Amino acid sequence: MAFTLTWPHHPVSLLLTVALYVVHLLVVARAITRPNRIPVSRVAWIAVIMLLPLLGVVAYLLLGETSIGQRRIRRLRAIEARMPLPHDASYAPATIEREAANLFDLCRSINGFFPVAGNRITLLGDAHAPPDMPMVNSDIAIDALVADIETAHEHVHISFYIWLDDHSGGKVADAVAAAAQRGVRCRVMVDALGSRAFTRCPRWRQLREAGAQTVATLNDVPRLGHLAVGRPDLRNHRKIVVIDNRIAYCGSQNCADPQFRVKPKFAPWVDIFLRCEGPVVRQQQYLFLAAWIDETGEALEQLPTAAPLPERFDDNVTAQMFGTGPTSQSNAMSDMFAACIYAARQDLLITTPYFVPDEAILRALCAAPKRGVKTTIVFPARNDSWLVGNASRSMYPALLASGVAVYQYPLGLLHTKSMTLDNEIALVGSANMDRRSLELNYENNLLIADKDTTKVIRERQLGYLAASRPIAIDVVQAWPFRKRLVQNAVGMMAPIL
């Protein structure tokens, strides 16, 4: 039976049909030719656009691009060109093991930062806290942050993705307000989407009235009228605190209680927070200020290097901060994760809450056990994202068949993003192993080469592991057909999540 295409006879209908057809073809062409996109992502978007012509076009216009606008990109590049890199040759490490040196070189290609020795990096929390009380570490971390803010003399710079008006969020806000009132320059930066409730509550007004400068970032993503286009969910996911150019905090922790009242049924949120001193602090300052200057125009380009050189601590503690986002080089975060996995020679332990890796990371993980590397990943047993949880579990069979040990942490949402290699190298920060962190969000991670610091971070990971349940391959293979169908269907869409 022959198929015939019937065109509308009414001129207006015909014109509309032709226009929609042309728009459809143009969007398909754009999805195919969009630069810096992996082939599997192109295929996924073409499938969505072709199978759901109208809905697919709308979805692509809203979610298919990662641009935050050419004007912002040019502005950020100009700011970075004016800012001197925070580096002094006297802080160069005397020696670096080959595996770590290669990772630091890759790190340097992202922001231009050099590895620096002479740091002191402290994992906040109680090493002896029982595994069923993870909120203890969060409370200790917030108390340490508040104590440091209370000692500030010059400035307090804070950037959080989520800041809640709860007990912890309130304590930090009170400390910042008090610092501002005694003359400390306080600059507070939160994500416009992640902290939208906080920017509308009395605490936000309290900070401003005390004299703190406040900014809700990425509140001006490209728009068509009131409709956000070009990934409206692109966010500043970084967690950075810098005090007087001498102390910095980084990790996975937001400014909120572990009970995380906006999603209480998944609580507690189980996080990691590092307190840093030494030359690596100025690298975190650089990342904060680049975003701050972009948002405010305040001329602070010289601040990271204008202060006296920081105090020198342990020469064995070499560290390097790096930040990624939609304006950094393509695949930078993915390259760092994959490179760290390949650098492991004997042991690799990872914790991550959101696992929707690209092909490079998944292949690196599956290859690790075949190279003789004991590879273990700990996920939360319950995920606050139904899509991400199913996409993550769709990859269990491949991981387990390759020899990766998969565990699930049942005592809350394990939000810690951490990786330790061979008891020598650690990677900690804000980035998840999902597309949002790999391609969309602004993230910051810290690479550390020091056995003692790595040992402490690994002990925290082992605490998570001790409280977790192993996932056996025969259990996964016995999952009902309907469950596997849903997981694999969602997993197929991973490139566009």
Q: Single out the catalytic residue among 335, 422, 434, 450.
A: 422
Q: Single out the catalytic residue among 87, 155, 171, 237.
A: 237
Asked if 263 is an active-site residue, the reply is no
Chain position carrying tokens 């996911």: 237
Asked if 422 is an active-site residue, the reply is yes
Asked if 417 is an active-site residue, the reply is yes
Asked if 105 is an active-site residue, the reply is no
Peptide linkage before 268 cis (omega within 30 of 0):
yes
Q: Single out the catalytic residue among 87, 157, 171, 415.
A: 415
Q: Single out the catalytic residue among 174, 244, 314, 347.
A: 244
d(CA 288, CA 243): 12
Asked if 148 is an active-site residue, the reply is no
d(CA 31, CA 64): 8
d(CA 273, CA 142): 9
Say if CB 99 and CB 259 are below 8 A apart. Answer: no
Q: Is the dihedral of CA 286, 291, 294, 295 positive or negative?
A: negative
Which of 150, 254, 146 is CA-nearest to residue 198? 254
Q: Single out the catalytic residue among 155, 191, 239, 271.
A: 239
Helix 70-82 to helix 280-296 angle (10° resolution) is 140
Q: Single out the catalytic residue among 87, 155, 171, 417.
A: 417
Chain position carrying tokens 């971070």: 457
Q: How many CB atoms lie within 10 A of CB 147?
A: 10
Asked if 415 is an active-site residue, the reply is yes
Residue positions annotated with a catalytic role: 237, 239, 244, 415, 417, 422
